[in-house]
């Protein structure tokens, strides 16, 4: 367990991304085109054969400030196998606490510069995590904004095709972006579907 914790909270020595190594994307499709929270979103397309590309999923959310503090929880975030990078940015804050719950709770704190605090980590081991972000807002703020980016490196096969499945269970409803190479798709994630009786 300690080796896993050290990998999650180790220093973030940023590696060169797959896109920086030259893999390009010529086609990007997302299904379903109007996903709901909990759907398994299929991201696929065409790119440079036998290369690696980065798939980036990002969204932002405004959080209310109560008694000078903000918080948000992501339950059961599923991290797949493979090379990855995760970044959380809080805007309008004095600090950002990033807490991961495995068997126990572990927290790292980032202090803000000009009202922006950032936590970033890479090569997070595959697994399911409960994550909480919280901290102190700047004075006289009634709302703050968090921006979340998740990057997964995947392979393009010899025919130039790639496919990646993204579990939306831990996302919030609303707009988010999917980026592969230089192609960006705007997607609206609907509220969780109600089960039919």
Does residue 118 sit within a domain? yes
Does residue 57 sit within a domain? yes
Question: What is the tens place of the pLDDT at every residue in 153-180?
Answer: 999 999 999 999 988 887 778 898 999 9
Question: What is the tens place of the pLDDT at every residue in 91-114?
Answer: 999 999 999 886 678 899 999 999
- Rounded to 10 degrees, the C-alpha dihedral 173/179/184/186 comes to -10
Does residue 146 sit within a domain? yes
Residue 182, domain extent: 2-189
User: By the 8 A CB rule, do 47 and 158 touch?
Assistant: no
Total number of domains in the chain:
1
Does residue 197 sit within a domain? no
Residue from 62, 100, 60, 82 nearest 166 by CA: 82
Does residue 194 sit within a domain? no
Lowest mean pLDDT among 1-15, 90-104, 178-192: 1-15
């Amino acid at each position: 367990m300690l080796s896993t914790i050290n990998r999650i909270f180790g220093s973030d020595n940023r590696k060169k991304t797959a896109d920086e190594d030259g893999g390009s994307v010529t086609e990007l499709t997302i299904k379903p085109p109007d996903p709901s929270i909990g759907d398994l979103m299929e991201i696929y397309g065409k790119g440079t054969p036998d290369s690696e590309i980065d798939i980036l999923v990002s969204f932002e959310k405004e959080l209310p400030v109560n008694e000078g503090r903000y918080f948000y929880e992501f339950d059961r975030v599923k991290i797949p196998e493979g090379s990855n990078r995760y970044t959380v940015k809080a805007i309008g804050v004095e600090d950002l606490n990033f807490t991961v719950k495995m068997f126990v709770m572990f927290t790292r704190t980032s202090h803000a510069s000009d009202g922006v605090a950032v936590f970033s980590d890479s090569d997070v081991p595959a697994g399911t995590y409960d994550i909480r972000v919280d901290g102190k807002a700047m004075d006289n703020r009634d709302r703050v904004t968090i921006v979340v980016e998740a990057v997964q490196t995947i392979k393009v096969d010899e025919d130039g095709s790639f496919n990646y499945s993204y579990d939306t269970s831990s996302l919030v409803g609303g707009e988010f972006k999917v980026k592969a190479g230089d192609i960006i798709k705007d997607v609206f994630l609907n509220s969780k579907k109600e089960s039919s009786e």
